[in-house]
Structure 1
Amino acid sequence: MSDDLQDSLASQTPTGGSPTLDDLFRRIAARQPDAVALIDPPNKHRVTGRPPMRLTFKQADYAISSVATGFIEAGLPYGSIVAVQLPNTIEFAITVLGAIRAGMIVALLPQLWRQSDLTTALNRIGARAVVGIDRIELVDHAELVMNAAAEAFSIRHVFGFGHDLPEGMSPLEIVTDGPADFASFYPLEARKPVIVSFDVIADGFRAIPRNHVQLISGGLAVFLESEVPQGAQLLSAIIPSSFGGVAASLVTWLLSAGSLAFHHPSDLQVLKKQIEEDGNDTLIVPALLALRLADDGALSHPFPMQRVIGLWRTPDRIASSENWHGANATFTDIYLFGEIGLYGARRLSDGSPAPISPGPYGGSRNTVGEFVMTMKGTLALRGSMIPVAAYRPPSSSENILSEAAPPDYVDTGYAARLDKARGTISITAPPTGIVAVGGYRFLSQDLDEWARRLTPGAMLTALPDQLNGYRLAGRASDNRRAREALGELGLNPLMVEAFRDRTN
């Protein structure tokens, strides 16, 4: 485990008194055991080869305990880091909550990561186990996970869902009933780390641990601003492989004590059919997709959709986005500042984005965050969801400033301007040197470095894109060979497909 992650974990000492994610789930399961809790995507069989499931809270509670017992009986010590790379299905929710119940820390591995990214992340955090699935769409994820685990010296166990698992991968199953022969679970502490996500900042790749309090605070920022009611029927098309994704889907579901239906991104026709037929009242999607669905009339009557929660990986583009025209459904913009934190603002009555003001947010009686303008003209975040220690510069005897106590906020790097007359903040530009493509961030210098590994004259750059913020584009003397070379290096498809053939 790296020194910076160890320092971040050690800084989060338990104080007690706050609920954990497992506490939230257990309370709901005790109150309404037969209510529907989790619903698989209708096209799950095409995505994973497994039939879709629908679990009540009682069934989900049993499945969570079963997975937790499997981790404990495999010999994983309390506090072990379990890395997870799974699709947006019931398996993800049950595995994460099962690992948490067993006292483990869950590392979220993005779905597009391939062997190079996976190996780097697993070695960086010192993961003891990794959980995958036999396939997602046409990609053999079991092989990817096994190959990455072989290069991570800390990995002792590899688990997987599916029927065609390679040798050495221990099978996991969603078991919903049977003899309750479960292991004894340790009591959880709300201020102990519970997840690790990954971010790219000016200093490079970094692991970001968070505890229960920070996760619940992030979920509250979404829950309160969008006014999700108790018993809400949520439909999420967000892969929860980041803090923002988990807070907006999994945590918001637990806060609402309703049901959570999954959509595995992104089959637009399947999503529209789910909206039409499933009767969900709250939709959680990438913001630009939400605006597109509204323009297409997919959210108009007679569908019961009452609120839409749109996640922005490019918060600097919200102010210039088109107005919301989603029939009677309200729309809440969720500003995602990498893995640092998030902010929610419901659109005005005319559909335009709500202005941002400096100071606290999250409700007058439920402050969960605060905007701070730095002397550099950038926007910083402070509050209960912000993992300040994770972004603290590593200690160095050569840098006397690094030994000083850090401020209680984290600089997002987004350039911002304060309008003193109106008392509002305008986000004007993304962090310098960082490229955001969909939910993935790269250092500009890393793109140049990968291009240099190819043939002389090869180029890899980021171009503006209406849907993703940026897209990667590459040029080489032989694009086909460039794709093959990048694939062999184990890079993710965003880089590989940047060199696709554009002649047709």
Structure 2
Amino acid sequence: MVAPHAPLDEGRPNMPTPQLRLVRLLAGAAARAPGRIAFSSPPTDMATTWSSQPLTVEAAEGHVRRLASFLQHLPLERGGPLGILLPNGPEACITILAALQAGYSPCLLPLGWRGDELAAAVKAANVPAIITLDRLGEVRPAELACATAANYLGLRFICSYGSDIPDGVIGLDAALEDQVVREFEELGPIGPPAPSPGLITFERGPQAFVPILRPEATLIAASLPLVFAARLGSDSRIISLLPPDDLGGLASGLVAALSADCPLTMQALFDGDALVRDLALDPPATLVAPGWIEDLLAEAGLLDQAELTCVLVHKAPVELPRGKQHAARVVDVLTISEMALLAVARAGAGSMLKLGPFGALAPGGVPLLEVVADENGMLKARGAATGCTVLGAGDPQSVAHAPDGEWRELPYGVSLEDGLLRTIEPR
């Protein structure tokens, strides 16, 4: 039994340790309040029968355990990547956590990528298996994964939620039925899985996709400036419009909800009716949205609600907003590459992000995150929240983490206005 962990907002500063894992945060929530909602999504977005209703933390933990048991029996290398090609919803959260529990590295593949982009990313990260779903509107992700496998022999297994799956694809709905799970349990464990090395996301380089491996502890550390700036805690609830497929989407959704011990609702970006309904519920919500949608949210009147907190996630390169003030409390989040995540509450008409330290001090006096610019305006970062590794082709197990105090160069330059960040551009 995994020992429960308290929410990370109790007794600040609470620095993540290498032993702290996302599944342990879920287990801690299940031990404290098993009936609390963990993950939910509007019914139209559901892809599996077991997520047609909001999942409690107890039910979510059970699904994670069942799926992890199945995944452990796939003939895959422990610690290696496991591709996840899923939309924003409970299925993605459960699958990410189950892959970690089984000892794999979830490799997060955005559904919006073209076939050639998906193939390039799968090859760059040496992905041997993908978990996806049969359909999402007019999109057929399982068929896209099959087309990728036809052009990359290293992709050996495709598993899919849903009933309308192509030949040769493993149906996860059937694999997770009670009888099948009992048969796996009768086979017995194949040995306890080693802890996952972390999660893999991608940085789009000038000529290729670059896989970035981030250990769970540093992902939790990366989310803490956002958790603190948005004042998230066990009395909060998060509504996220961002899929958990990059640093910004992960840290502001799944990881923030587990760290703050609060429910997470995931919605499609343009499902306005469902969003309005969810925002009207109690307690007041924290809405997570891409930064470019700020004007649309304002035009719809959603940012006129003083009880709402809106987290706007910007991704470099970007020109940060100015001259925009709302009744809602706004937190601006900026992700620079897949290495650094800055978060500050807006105190005036526009982003208040600036260079310097973010969050509490880690052991040894190093900030959780510190971002500075050199004399040429090039950015660099250090701290526990920056711990990640650029994976080289053909060597996905190479994990040589830089010390927390070591500066990491970021491929971006910055322009300032009155000491505040305004433009972040690649250089």
TM norm. shorter chain > 0.5:
yes
> Does the CA-based 8 Å contact 1:243-1:339 persist in structure 2?
yes
SS at match of 2:426: coil
What TM-score results when the alignment is normalised by the length of structure 2? 0.83
> Does the CA-based 8 Å contact 1:380-1:411 persist in structure 2?
yes
The equivalences for 1:18-417 within 5 A come to 18-44=19-45, 48=47, 52-173=52-173, 182=185, 184=189, 186=192, 189=195, 193-202=197-206, 204-277=208-281, 280-301=284-305, 305-314=307-316, 316-318=318-320, 320-325=321-326, 327=327, 329-348=328-347, 350-357=348-355, 359-363=356-360, 367-387=367-387, 389-390=389-390, 408-417=406-415
Deviates more, 1:158-167 or 1:222-231: 222-231
> Does the CA-based 8 Å contact 1:388-1:408 persist in structure 2?
no
Give per-residue Cα distances to partners, 1:163-206, cap 9 Å, x unaligned. Answer: 111111111139698987756473654xx521111112346421
- The 1:364/1:82 distance shift into structure 2, 3 A limit, reads closer
Deviation at 1:429, TM superposition (A): 4.5
Give per-residue Cα distances to partners, 1:95-150, cap 9 Å, x unaligned. Answer: 10011100110000011123211221122211121011111111111110111122
- The 1:323/1:16 distance shift into structure 2, 3 A limit, reads closer
Deviation at 1:28, TM superposition (A): 1.1
The separation in 2 between residues aligned to 1:142 and 1:392, in whole angstroms, is 27
- The aligned amino acid for 2:71 is F
Deviation at 1:364, TM superposition (A): 5.8
The separation in 1 between residues aligned to 2:128 and 2:392, in whole angstroms, is 25
The separation in 2 between residues aligned to 1:19 and 1:245, in whole angstroms, is 20
Give per-residue Cα distances to partners, 1:448-476, cap 9 Å, x unaligned. Answer: xxxxxxxxxxxxxxxxxxxxxxxxxxxxx
The separation in 2 between residues aligned to 1:251 and 1:16, in whole angstroms, is 15
> Does the CA-based 8 Å contact 2:27-2:61 persist in structure 1?
yes
- The aligned amino acid for 2:254 is L
What TM-score results when the alignment is normalised by the length of structure 1? 0.71
> Does the CA-based 8 Å contact 1:415-1:427 persist in structure 2?
no
Deviation at 1:425, TM superposition (A): 4.8
How many percent of aligned residue pairs carry the same amino acid? 25
Alignment match, 1:401: none
Who wins on radius of gyration, i.e. which is larger? 1
The separation in 1 between residues aligned to 2:221 and 2:106, in whole angstroms, is 18
- The 1:429/1:286 distance shift into structure 2, 3 A limit, reads closer
- The 1:188/1:223 distance shift into structure 2, 3 A limit, reads farther
**Structure 2: gaps spanning 5 or more residues:** 1-15, 395-402
- The 1:278/1:270 distance shift into structure 2, 3 A limit, reads farther
SS at match of 1:217: helix
> Does the CA-based 8 Å contact 1:234-1:280 persist in structure 2?
no
Compute the RMSD of aligned alpha carbons. 3.1
The separation in 2 between residues aligned to 1:391 and 1:431, in whole angstroms, is 21
Counting matched residue pairs gives 394
Deviation at 1:391, TM superposition (A): 8.2
Q: Which has the higher contact order (CA 8 A, sep 6+)?
A: 2
